[in-house]
């Protein structure tokens, strides 16, 4: 069986252009910068997924149903990334919470390092992880984008109350 080709599509978001990377029918990445690999070819993302992204950026807290795949990452990193699905829309958790969630309470710093490599931000919401003291912490695509994503979710949730 041949390996699925890697393709990408562009999605215009309030945070700027997102590059949606697919392996076969599975989402393998979301990037804020154009994929550097020339082997990637341009193709259309599934309409169901782009609709979910549109809904998300309009404040819907329905979550994502798009199948994902990790093309890289250690078992530890994959556990950390998968734990992010348990953080509700409009809420935050700490790096310590992530470490506890994966059963490794002493690994807060390592969890933070794994989060910085999250290949599928937004869908796997690493932007919802903050420091224990309440400060925003880092974000691989920049703290300003993290702050905008948190604001979008927070104010969308407040609007619904």
Per-residue confidence at 35, pLDDT binned at 50, 70, 90? confident
Per-residue confidence at 156, pLDDT binned at 50, 70, 90? confident
User: Are 120 and 23 a contacting pair, CB within 8 Å?
Assistant: no
**Predicted structure pTM score:** 0.91
Task: Report whether pLDDT(129) > 80.
Answer: yes
Per the annotation, the verdict on 68 as an active-site residue is no
Task: Report whether pLDDT(148) > 70.
Answer: yes
- Rounded CA gap, 60 and 135, in Å? 25
Task: Report whether pLDDT(102) > 60.
Answer: yes
Lowest model confidence (mean pLDDT) among 4-8, 110-114, 150-154? 4-8
DSSP conformational letter for 93: E
Task: Report the mean per-residue pLDDT for the chain.
Answer: 92
Catalytic one of 126, 129, 130, 152: 126
CA distances from 62 to 128, 131, 142 (A): 16, 26, 25
> Which tokens in the block code for residue 87?
């953080």
DSSP conformational letter for 160: T
């Amino acid at each position: 069986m041949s390996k699925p080709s890697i393709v990408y599509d562009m999605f215009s978001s309030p945070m700027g252009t997102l590059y949606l990377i697919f392996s076969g029918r599975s989402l393998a990445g979301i990037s804020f910068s154009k994929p550097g690999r020339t082997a990637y070819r341009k193709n259309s993302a599934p309409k169901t997924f782009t609709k979910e992204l549109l809904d998300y950026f309009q404040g819907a807290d329905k979550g994502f149903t798009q199948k994902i795949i990790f093309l890289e990452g250690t078992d530890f990193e994959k556990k950390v990334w998968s734990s992010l699905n348990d953080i509700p829309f409009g809420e935050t958790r700490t790096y310590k919470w992530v470490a506890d969630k994966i059963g490794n309470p002493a690994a807060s710093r390592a969890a933070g390092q794994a989060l910085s490599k999250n290949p599928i931000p937004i869908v796997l919401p690493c932007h919802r992880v903050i420091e224990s003291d309440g400060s925003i912490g880092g974000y691989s695509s920049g703290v300003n984008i993290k702050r905008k994503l948190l604001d979008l979710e927070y104010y969308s949730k407040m609007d619904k109350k």
